[in-house]
């Protein structure tokens, strides 16, 4: 992204956020002009956005631009987000039930 002229780029690994002092990472997110959320597995991304606390923080950032790529955009769509949470719950139930 720095090749595009961005002065700085930081990376937050959602799975690591619970192990970082919340005041620290929240300040990093609040200071950002843009949050670029890359793709991957939308269920996994949605889970860690909620688990880390980032999902709860986002509504308090009205001036921050959110740029989602692939799964990064899917998790922000309320209708699809609800459907994904339903799929995630069903997936957890199947894993607990085991093969069969």
Instruction: Decide: 38 and 30 in contact? Cβ < 8 Å.
Output: no
pLDDT at 81: 57
Asked if 39 contacts 71 with a C-beta cutoff of 8 angstroms, the reply is yes
What span, in angstroms and rounded, lies between the C-alpha atoms of 42 and 77?
11
> Going along the chain, which residue ranges are E strands?
34-37, 65-68
pLDDT tens per residue across span 64-94? 888 888 888 888 776 655 566 676 777 778 8
The answer to which of 39-48, 78-87, 90-99 has the lowest mean pLDDT is: 78-87
The SS3 assignment for 98 reads coil
3-class DSSP state for residue 77?
A: coil
The rounded distance, in Å, linking the Cα atoms of 49 and 52 is: 6
- Considering the entire predicted model, what is its pTM? 0.69
């Amino acid at each position: 992204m720095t090749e595009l002229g961005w002065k700085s780029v930081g990376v937050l690994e959602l799975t690591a956020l619970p192990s970082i002092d919340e005041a620290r990472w929240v300040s990093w997110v609040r200071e950002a002009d843009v949050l670029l959320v890359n793709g991957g597995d939308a269920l996994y991304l949605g889970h860690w956005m909620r688990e880390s606390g980032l999902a709860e923080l986002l509504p308090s950032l009205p001036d921050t631009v959110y740029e989602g790529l692939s799964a990064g955009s899917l998790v922000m769509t309320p209708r699809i987000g609800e459907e994904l949470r339903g799929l995630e719950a069903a997936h957890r139930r199947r894993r607990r039930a085991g093969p069969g």
